[in-house]
Structure 1
Amino acid sequence: MSSELFDALVILEKEKGISKDVIIEAIEAALISAYKRNFNQAQNVRVDLNLERGSMRVFARKDVVDEVYDPRLEISVEEAQTINPNFQLDDVVEIEVTPKDFGRIAAQTAKQVVTQRVREAERGVIYSEFSDREEDIMTGIVQRQDSRFIYVSLGKIEALLPQSEQMPNEQYKPHDRIKVYITKVEKTTKGPQIYVSRTHPGLLKRLFEKEVPEIYDGTVELKSVAREAGDRSKISVHSEYAEVDPVGSCVGPKGQRVQAVVNELKGEKIDIVRWSNDPVEFVANALSPSKVVDVIVDENEKATTVIVPDYQLSLAIGKRGQNARLAAKLTGWKIDIKSQSEAEQEGMVVKNSDDMLVSQHAFDSDEDME
C-alpha cells in the first residue's frame, strides 16, 4: 500500500464519479476476505487502511467474557486487563494480527473483489443518471446492429434500439448520430439496460420542446400527439395568451422550427393544429389539411360525424384512412366522415359552404412552407 493508491482513487472518483469511500470500503472487505481465506482464520477481524500513510493493519476483535469457549472470538477479563486495565466484561478488545507477508497475498486476492465492487458502483452511478432521463431524448452514435437491436452509444453505456422502435424509412449505419427517446431503464445482473425508440410519440414532443422556446417555457402547450412514425404525425397546441399564435410559434420564421423537426425525422410529414375544448372546432382542425363543412357531435358515444365537401372527401380520409385515423387519435373522438352530398341524401342538415369551418396546415417540406 502506498500514497499512489490514494492518488489513483482520487482520479477514479473524478473520472468515474465513484466515491473514494465506496472503493475504500470495497478494499477493506476484500482484505478481510483474503485474511480469512489465506490464513484459515475464522476470527472477527477489522482492517485499518490508512492510504495517506500507506499503512495496513489487521485487528482481531474479541469479546471480553468470564469464561472463554472460543479463543478466536473471546478473551477473558484477566487477559484483557493485561492489555489495558480499563477493559471490563462485554467490552471488545482489538489485537493486531497482521501477518508479515499479508500485503502480497492481500493484493492478489483482493484485486478481483475490488474490481467487481468498482464495477458495481459504476453501474449504480450510470443507473441513477439514466433513470432520471426516462422519457427524455439524447443524441447517440450508432455502434453496430444484429437481428434484434441497433446498439447506440450514449457515452457511458450502449442503449438498445429494438426493431419495433426503428423508423421504417431509415437506414442506420455505424457512426451515424441520431436522437433517441429513452423509453425504459432497467436494473439487471449485468448492469443497467437502456431501451430507446425512434418511433415513440414522445420523441416528437421532445423535439418540439427543443426547437420551440414557447413550448419549453410553457407559453405554448403541446396538448396531444398522434404519430405513424416515418410517414405522418399530428400535434395539437394551445396557448392561454391571446396574443400568442401557438401554431405560428411551432412553425417558426419561414418554417424553420418545424423544418428542423421534419429533417430530424427524415421527412416525416407533420400537421400542426390548434387545440380547442370545443370538439366541433378541435375535430375540424384535426382533419387538416382537409376543409370541413360541419361536425355533428354525439357526447354519449364520444363520436362525431364530419361533413366535408365532395371534392375533399378523399383528402379528409387520407391514404389508407391515415388522416382520419390520426385525427381520431389526436382528439380522442371517434370520427365518421361523410361527403356533403351523401349527408344531404341522408337528410342531414348541412351548413352552406360559405360557413365552412377553418382548417390548419400540414408541413413536410420546404415547398409546403413557402
Structure 2
Amino acid sequence: MSQEVLQALKLLEEDKGVKKEVIIDALVQALRAAYKKHYGQNQNVDVEFDEQTGEVHVYQIKEVVDQVFDNQLEVSIEDAQNINKGYEVGDKVNFEVTPKNFGRLAAQSAKQVIFQKIREEERSAVFQEYADYQHEVMQGFVQRVDNKFVYVNLGKIEGVIGKSDQIPNESYEANKRLKVYVTNVENTTKGPRILLSRTSPELVKRLFEQEVPEIYNGTIEIVSIAREPGDRSKIAVRSNDENVPAVGTTVGQRGQRVQNIVDELNGENMDIIEWEKDPIDFIANALKPADVIAVQFSEEDEKNCLVIVPDDQLSLAIGKRGQNARLAAKLTNYKIDIKPESEVEFTDDDNSDSEE
C-alpha cells in the first residue's frame, strides 16, 4: 500500500494541483479516525506518515500517572520508567500499536475523507482564481437555461444570471457567446458560486473600458451611466486632456467603438453625451437629441428643475414612454419636469438660465 499511496499523492499533486502536504494531512486524519473506529474511540492516538517510504505508524499516547484509572489513556510511573528512567508524572509516552492489517482496514475509511479534502481544496483554488474577477467582465458561453437562471460556462466553473440580471427579451440559446459582469463571487458549502449580470450599468462601463483605450487609461472619464437594459443607455463622459474630445473619441471613427458595444448588447442604443460642470449645460446635454431653451431650478429643492423646450421638441425631450426624460434624470441625478415653451411665461431672471 505504501508505494501506491506515494504514487497517488504524486498524481494528485500534478493532476489536481493540490499540495501534497494538504493531502497527507487529510490522510493522517482519515487514518486516525479509521483506527479509533475499529479499535476503540476511548484512546488518544497519533498517526505518522513517512513521506519517503509511504509507511504508516499508529501510536497510542498515554499520560504518566502515579495511579492508573484508565489503561487506555494512562501509564504508571513505574512502567514508564521501565521504558525510560527519564519519564516523570505528566509526561506523554507513545506506544506503537500499528495493526498488521491496518492498511487494508483503513483504506476504505480514508478514501472518502481524502477525496472530500481534495474536493474542498479544488473548490478553494477555483474560488481564489475567480474571486479576482469580481466587478469585472468575463466572457463565457450559455450552457443551459431553466426557469430561474441562465448558466454560463466560464471555463472551470459555471456562473449564473438571475432573472433580474437578464436583459428583457434577450435570447439565451445554448452555446451563445456572452460578455457578463461578475457581481459577486461566493464561497459556499457546495463550492464557489458566481453571480453574473447582463443588466448592470457597470457592464456598460467595463465594455467601454475594453473598447476605448482612452477610457481605460483615464484620459477620458465615464462620469455617470443611466441604463434601461436591452433598450437604451445614456453615458456622460468628460476628457482630462483638452486635446482629446470626449464624445468623438468614445464614439470612435464612423461610430465603430460604440457599435461594437451595441452589438454585444444585442442592439441596445447608446447615447454618448458630454458631461458639463454647469448643471444647466449638463441637463441640456442629457436631454439630447431634443433642444433645450432654458433650465429653471426649484427654490425649495435644488435637485428639482423645470426644463423648457420648443413646442415641437416636447415629445422628443420626453421620449417614447418617457424614456428620454427618465434616463436624463438618472444620468444627472436631478428630478426633471419638462414643459413646452408655449406654457411658460418668461421673466428677465429666466434668461440667466437659458442656453445661448
Task: Provide closer, same or farther for how the CA distance between residues 14 and 347 of structure 1 changes in structure 2, counting only shifts above 3 A.
Answer: farther
Residue 254 of structure 2 corresponds to 254
Residue 118 of structure 1 corresponds to 118
Between 125-134 and 330-339, report the one with greater CA deviation: 125-134
Residue 309 of structure 2 corresponds to 308
Between the aligned partners of 2:15 and 2:300, the Cα distance in structure 1 is: 60
Q: Is the CA contact (8 Å cut-off) linking 1:5 and 1:51 kept in structure 2?
A: no
Structure 1 stretches lacking a partner, 5+ long: 358-370
Alignment-mate amino acid for residue 123 of structure 1: R
Q: Match of 1:256, SS?
A: helix
Aligned residues, how many? 354
Task: Provide closer, same or farther for how the CA distance between residues 112 and 211 of structure 1 changes in structure 2, counting only shifts above 3 A.
Answer: same
Residue 319 of structure 1 corresponds to 320
Between the aligned partners of 1:86 and 1:244, the Cα distance in structure 2 is: 84
Alignment-mate amino acid for residue 166 of structure 1: Q
| 1:42 positional shift | 2.4
Residue 282 of structure 1 corresponds to 282
Alignment-mate amino acid for residue 201 of structure 1: P
Q: Is the CA contact (8 Å cut-off) linking 1:225 and 1:236 kept in structure 2?
A: yes
Residue 342 of structure 2 corresponds to 341
Between the aligned partners of 1:218 and 1:14, the Cα distance in structure 2 is: 42
Between the aligned partners of 2:9 and 2:264, the Cα distance in structure 1 is: 42
Task: Provide closer, same or farther for how the CA distance between residues 7 and 251 of structure 1 changes in structure 2, counting only shifts above 3 A.
Answer: farther
Q: Is the CA contact (8 Å cut-off) linking 1:31 and 1:106 kept in structure 2?
A: yes
Task: Provide closer, same or farther for how the CA distance between residues 348 and 175 of structure 1 changes in structure 2, counting only shifts above 3 A.
Answer: farther
Alignment of 1:204-283 (within 5 A): 204-283=204-283
Between 4-13 and 80-89, report the one with greater CA deviation: 4-13
Alignment-mate amino acid for residue 218 of structure 1: G
Between the aligned partners of 1:293 and 1:10, the Cα distance in structure 2 is: 76
Residue 292 of structure 1 corresponds to 292
Residues 1:78 and 2:78 aligned together: yes
Alignment-mate amino acid for residue 147 of structure 1: N
Between the aligned partners of 2:255 and 2:50, the Cα distance in structure 1 is: 64
Q: Is the CA contact (8 Å cut-off) linking 2:138 and 2:154 kept in structure 1?
A: yes
CA-based RMSD of the aligned residues comes to 2.2
Between the aligned partners of 1:132 and 1:90, the Cα distance in structure 2 is: 50
Q: Is the CA contact (8 Å cut-off) linking 2:296 and 2:350 kept in structure 1?
A: no
Between the aligned partners of 2:8 and 2:323, the Cα distance in structure 1 is: 60
Alignment-mate amino acid for residue 63 of structure 2: D
Alignment-mate amino acid for residue 337 of structure 1: I
Residue 184 of structure 2 corresponds to 184
Task: Provide closer, same or farther for how the CA distance between residues 338 and 13 of structure 1 changes in structure 2, counting only shifts above 3 A.
Answer: farther
Between the aligned partners of 2:350 and 2:340, the Cα distance in structure 1 is: 10
Structure 2 length as normaliser, TM-score?
Answer: 0.92
| 1:306 positional shift | 1.2
Alignment-mate amino acid for residue 146 of structure 2: D
Q: Match of 1:82, SS?
A: helix
Alignment-mate amino acid for residue 309 of structure 2: V
Between the aligned partners of 1:348 and 1:228, the Cα distance in structure 2 is: 38
Residue 170 of structure 1 corresponds to 170
Residue 91 of structure 1 corresponds to 91
Q: Is the CA contact (8 Å cut-off) linking 1:293 and 1:351 kept in structure 2?
A: no
Structure 2 stretches lacking a partner, 5+ long: none
Alignment-mate amino acid for residue 186 of structure 1: E
Cα offsets for 1:293-347 (capped at 9, x unmatched):
2222236511111122222211111100000000101110011112222224x76
Residue 196 of structure 1 corresponds to 196
